[in-house]
Amino acid sequence: MLAVIAVGAGCEQGSVASPDADGDSEDGGTDSSTDAGADAVPDGSTDPDAEAIAQCGDGFCTRPHESAESCPDDCAGCNLLTDITGIIGTAELFYGYSVLGTDFETLGCGGLGEAREVSLSFTPGFTGDLVLSTRHPSTRIATVLEVREGRCDGAPLGCNDEATAGATGSRLTIPVEAGTRYVALVETADDEAGVFALGAHRPGVCEGVGTTVDITADLLGGRRFQADTTASTSSVAGSCGPAVDSPEARLTFTAPRNGRMIGTTAHPSTTFDAVLHVREHEIDGTSTCDSPESEIACATDGAPGGLGPVVRFEAQGRRGYDLFVDGASGAGQATLTLGYAATSPARANLRGCDFETLRDQFAFFAQDGQSVFVTVDTVDADTAADTRLLVRTPDGAELHEADDDVDCTFDPPRWNCPQYTFTAGTTGLFTVEIYVGSSEECYDRSRANYELTVTVAGVQAELILIRDQ
């Protein structure tokens, strides 16, 4: 679940909650935007009367214990709403409400005029560049984002009013120093109803730093995709898996058609414990690669024998996606299999009658010692063909080629169909290729319809279509 940091009114401290659709938090509390009059207790304090509740000069106006009269340093002018250091580099976002802001500062860019600004502090634990962005699906209104040194009235480091032409969010990259406090000021175009989401992370694969590969052209071509996270960066985290700072590789693609897709790094050449998570682009094609809100699937396991994650997600044809190969612990090399889900028995077709070039390929899991049954049959007389099948082991080695083993259901007298039964000698992702025989005998040379059946331990197998010819 995506963690949500909700903020209190005025300059009170924030709290962690997960609001549902009607604004109530899932943990039994209430959305702080509806509890503007309640006193808040800073992190680490449990007694409202504790001495630590009001520390004049800390940059936070902690009402009612501080006021413009008792502590002008904290309560005169711009007031810091809360600290967002904890979201840096995580799969969390800060959700802000314009109505909780104040109109004390004039930002250095944008045309929002006398809009209220929500003021937030953060203290990075590293020296380098930091990306701040309100470019998230929840931000449905124009924003202006500025970062200043130390305090609300500190020296400006950068300002952005539009991350992308025509977009509603802002995006800013600034240099930061470890242990130094900064202030982010966010304005929206609606002082009363403006809502925005803010994220913060180091530049990484979404900014073109690290390993990013576009695999669109090779989808459904039978190729396995290599991902090297050791040469990449750590900036994007999924909602599942341990909270470790591991680098990730990004594989971006446009889905060729609608359907459920399956990805897995279960392969003998994968050298580390991987996490797979997927983010979906906006319907207009805009990438929200670095937005946790765009995540549609995340997996840490699923392959038999603990071989790695299996991620499943619904894809829309011609829509963009980012699949991240991340580390559950450390980094390494991974081989990714990605294709469309099918369930045995699965019907498909070869778009022609060419022995050399036209082959479909499906993958399926089997464990060491399990019995596997594979067969291909014709589905009608008009598209019947002399088919073969080839089974390969998880490392790609040829296990068996089957041809003319049993009578086909729709079979001219001279044709038979392939069938093969074996006991898996290892645990992993096996593949089966379907193609016409070298004689290229097909009733219709433009297509050959077939039905593939794969059972593992007597159960119909889940299939992954990885090559569609």
Sequence ranges of the domains in the chain:
4-40+77-201, 208-339, 344-467
Alpha-carbon span 150 to 156, nearest angstrom: 10
What is residue 73's DSSP assignment?
H
CATH fold match for the domains 208-339 and 344-467: yes
Q: What is the pLDDT of residue 23?
A: 37
Q: Among 465, 463, 256, which residue's Cα sits nearest to residue 340?
A: 465
Please state the separation of Cα 266 from the chain's center in Å.
19
Q: What is the pLDDT of residue 190?
A: 83
Q: What is the DSSP secondary-structure string of 109-178?
A: S-S--S--EEEEEE--SSSEEEEEE--STT--S-EEEEEEESSTTS-EEEEES-SSTT-S--EEEEEE-T
- What's this model's pTM, rounded to 2 decimal places? 0.82
CATH topology classification for 208-339 = Jelly Rolls (2.60.120)
Angle of CA points 225, 228, 229, to nearest 5°: 130
Query: What stretches of 46-126 show up as alpha helix (H) in DSSP?
Result: 72-75
- CATH architecture type of domain 4-40+77-201: Sandwich (2.60)
Indicate the pairing of strand 128-133 with strand 249-254. Answer: unpaired
Indicate the pairing of strand 171-176 with strand 249-254. Answer: unpaired
Does domain 344-467 bear CATH number 2.60.120.380?
A: yes
Written as six digits, the tokens of 374 are 């594979």
Give me the amino acid identity at 61.
C
Alpha-carbon span 398 to 392, nearest angstrom: 5
Strands (E), 180-238: 182-188, 195-201, 212-214, 225-228
What is residue 429's DSSP assignment?
E
Alpha-carbon torsion (140, 141, 146, 151), positive or negative: negative
Written as six digits, the tokens of 185 are 């000021």
Written as six digits, the tokens of 448 are 């050959």
Q: What are phi and psi of 230, to 5 degrees?
A: -65, -25
Q: What are phi and psi of 120, to 5 degrees?
A: -135, 135
Q: What is the pLDDT of residue 169?
A: 87
Q: What is the pLDDT along the chain (469 residues), one digit of tens a residue?
A: 344 444 433 333 333 333 343 333 333 333 333 333 333 333 333 333 434 456 887 766 676 777 767 887 766 667 789 999 999 998 899 999 988 888 777 888 987 777 888 999 999 999 999 999 999 999 988 899 999 999 888 999 999 987 555 567 899 999 999 999 999 999 988 878 889 999 999 999 999 999 999 999 999 999 999 999 998 989 999 999 887 789 999 999 999 999 999 999 999 999 999 999 999 999 988 888 999 999 999 999 999 999 999 999 999 999 999 999 999 988 999 999 999 999 999 999 999 999 999 999 999 999 999 999 999 999 999 999 999 999 999 999 999 999 989 999 987 666 789 999 999 999 999 999 999 999 999 999 999 999 999 999 999 999 999 999 8
Q: At a CB cut-off of 8 Å and minimum separation 6, what does 237 contact?
A: 89, 90, 91, 243, 292, 326
Indicate the pairing of strand 310-315 with strand 346-350. Answer: unpaired
Half-sphere exposure of 293 (CA within 13 A, CB side): 18
Q: What is the pLDDT of residue 292?
A: 95
Strands (E), 240-384: 249-254, 259-264, 274-280, 295-299, 310-315, 320-327, 333-343, 346-350, 360-366, 371-377
Alpha-carbon span 197 to 88, nearest angstrom: 13
Instruction: Report the 10 Å Cβ neighbour count for 368.
Output: 12
The CA radius of gyration of the chain, in Å to the nearest whole number, is 28
